[in-house]
Amino acid sequence: MYKASASERIEVLNYMKDTFQSDLRRDISLGLTSAQKVIPSKYFYDARGSRLFEEICSLPEYYQTRTELSILKRSSAHIMRNFREMDIVELGSGGNLKVRTLLDACCRTSHAGICYVPVDVSESALVESSIQLRDFYPELKILGIVADFMKNIENIPAGRDSLFVFFGSTIGNFYLMDRVGLLKSVAARMGPDSRFLLGIDMIKPTGILERAYNDSRGVTAEFNKNILNVLNRELNACFDLSHFDHMAFYNADKEQVEMHLRANRNILVDIERLGLQVPMEKGETIHTEICGKFSRKSAAAMAEEAGLRISRWFTDPKGWFSLVELARMDRM
């Protein structure tokens, strides 16, 4: 665990319990014996998966990352107008490019009154980006929280007025119930004047959505199939990646892009550490991800269900991506 003296302005608290193996076993036993087979998308992100995702973010077809950053750049002065000195709590912090845009836009002379609170499951990624930020902003204080905010939100300090941020439309990866659950648990930690800046990808013509998940270089296909490498390594499974095809399409009824891995022949996969044999017929799929897409209406409904309301709306000229500012329902 990373320890730093107060003079270094970084403190890191690690709340992670090492339940990776037991979670994985439970999720995969359940997921691969269901009628529609499923592997939860959080298992994409081993070292290689994280690298592939970084690569996806700079693909020409994958507009999300650069569109969100362009909104931030264009609107950050506006977003941070009236920003009092308070904590900035970032869920799933990863890199720090986006939060830097916000920090640059506020408190032009000093960041002494601000505490940046990144929350992430990866301690190494969190420490690395915290050190970079500390060197960038000579007065900024940083309190890193290593935790899974979907499971252990109570590890995030509550009650103070803060700006919560959750970028990247990662909220779209969760099922509807979990989306509202997350918003509710954040809402419960918001002080009366707290705000919550949430990145969401918008519904747009199907062709554009589907190209973003079927890039011409096949990086998304590699990213999708890599989840089988994770199972091969962690569970001694014997998935042959060439027996699967990448599949991603927009499901308009559910307003989500779905990713699957489709067996291109009849197979029987042995998963040694689970003592499980999984038969698959040619054409059958393993569902690996949902990427929810939003409209202004569905975003407002989701916020409302969580006791939040949309106070401001920031978007790009095409309206492809949005940063939604949420406030507690009981505040103007």
- Please give the residue ranges that form the binding site for ligand AVJ (CB under 6 A): 56, 64, 168-170, 172-173, 213, 220, 289, 291
Q: Residue 316 CB, nearest distance to ligand AVJ (Å)?
A: 16
Minimum distance, C-beta of residue 213 to ligand AVJ, in the bound complex (Å) = 5
Which lies closer to ligand AVJ via its Cβ, residue 213 or residue 314? 213
Query: How far is the C-alpha of 232 from the C-alpha of 32, rounded, in Å?
Result: 14
Token code pair at residue 38: 């499923």
Burial track 152-178 (b if 16+ CB lie within 10 A, e otherwise): ebebbeeeeebbbbbbbbbbbbbeeee
Q: How far is the CB of 22 from ligand AVJ (least distance, A)?
A: 25
Query: Considering the complex, what minimum distance in angstroms separates the CB of residue 219 from ligand AVJ?
Result: 9
Residue 328, φ and ψ in degrees, nearest 5? -65, 140
Nearer to ligand AVJ, 101 or 220 (CB): 220
Residue whose CB is less far from ligand AVJ, 2 or 174: 174
Beta-strand relationship, 87-91 and 162-166: parallel
Kindly write down the DSSP assignment for every residue of 202-268, as one continuous string.
Answer: BP--HHHHHHHTS-TT-HHHHHHHHHHHHHHHHH-B---GGGEEEEEEEETTTTEEEEEEEESS-EE
Minimum Å gap between C-beta 91 and ligand AVJ is 13
d(CA 74, CA 79): 10
CB of 87 to ligand AVJ, least distance (A): 24
CB atoms within 10 A of CB 100: 17
Q: Nearest-CA neighbor of 166 among 116, 94, 91? A: 91
Residue at shortest CB range from ligand AVJ: 291
CB of 258 to ligand AVJ, least distance (A): 11
Rounded Cα distance between 197 and 287, Å, is 29
In angstroms, how far is the first alpha carbon of the chain from the final one? 41
Q: DSSP letter for 188, please.
A: T
- 289 - beta bridge partners? 259
Closer CB to ligand AVJ, residue 115 or residue 286?
286
Nearest distance from C-beta of residue 55 to ligand AVJ, angstroms: 10
Read off the tokens for 269: 């996969």
Which CB atom, from 31 or from 168, has the smaller least distance to ligand AVJ?
Answer: 168
Phi first, then psi, for residue 30 (nearest 5°) are -70, -50
Q: Whole-number minimum distance, CB 223 to ligand AVJ, in Å?
A: 6
